[in-house]
């Protein structure tokens, strides 16, 4: 499996993917826009475009992940985390076995957790990191599903059941 100085941070994400147990209230420093309508959450996650650039929620997450990959590829081979592809398989299986709600968001949840784990393997833990915010939202029992405002300004929209 992956080995580096941030392994314990990655392990936290993997452990969460096994149980989805709500472990905390959402940190007040994470600005979100909360919604309570599942149909609206689905619309925001899969159909809506945001801002003048007309990014989808998937586009925003991919743009954020490209910054992580930029850092990854600047690391020398001897410090670059290895076997990151194994994380996707492990997290995917864990989520498949433990998810008891949000089935329609399965792929998005797996992507969020996988991206957070990779970000942690590369960058460590930084509370201002986009994927750390997504992870905190998941840990609070909420579901990140969209964006409010012009990207990158604005805030994450989260569904609260």
Task: Please give the pLDDT value at position 66.
Answer: 98
Task: Please give the pLDDT value at position 26.
Answer: 74
pLDDT tens digit sequence for 29-46: 688 999 999 999 999 999
**Residue ranges per domain, the chain?**
7-21+31-159
Task: Please give the pLDDT value at position 102.
Answer: 75
d(C-alpha 153, C-alpha 137), whole Å: 18
Task: Please give the pLDDT value at position 1.
Answer: 46
Task: Please give the pLDDT value at position 135.
Answer: 95
Question: Is omega for the bond preceding 152 within 30 degrees of 0, making it cis?
Answer: yes
Low-confidence ranges of the chain (pLDDT < 50): 1-2
Task: Please give the pLDDT value at position 19.
Answer: 86
Task: Please give the pLDDT value at position 103.
Answer: 84
């Amino acid at each position: 499996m992956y080995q580096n100085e941030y392994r314990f941070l990655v392990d936290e994400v993997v452990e969460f993917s096994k149980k989805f147990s709500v472990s905390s209230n959402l940190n007040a420093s994470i600005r979100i826009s909360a919604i309570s309508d599942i149909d609206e959450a689905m619309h925001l996650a899969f159909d809506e475009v945001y801002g003048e650039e007309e990014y989808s929620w998937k586009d925003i997450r991919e743009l954020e992940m490209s910054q992580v990959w930029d850092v990854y590829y600047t690391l020398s081979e001897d410090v670059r985390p290895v076997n990151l592809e194994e994380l996707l398989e492990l997290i995917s299986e864990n989520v498949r076995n433990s998810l008891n709600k949000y089935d329609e968001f399965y792929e998005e949840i797996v992507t969020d957790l996988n991206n957070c784990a990779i970000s942690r393997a590369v960058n460590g833990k930084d509370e201002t990191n986009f994927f750390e915010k997504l992870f905190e939202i998941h840990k609070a029992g909420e579901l990140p599903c969209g964006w409010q405002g012009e990207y990158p300004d604005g805030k994450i929209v989260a569904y609260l059941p």
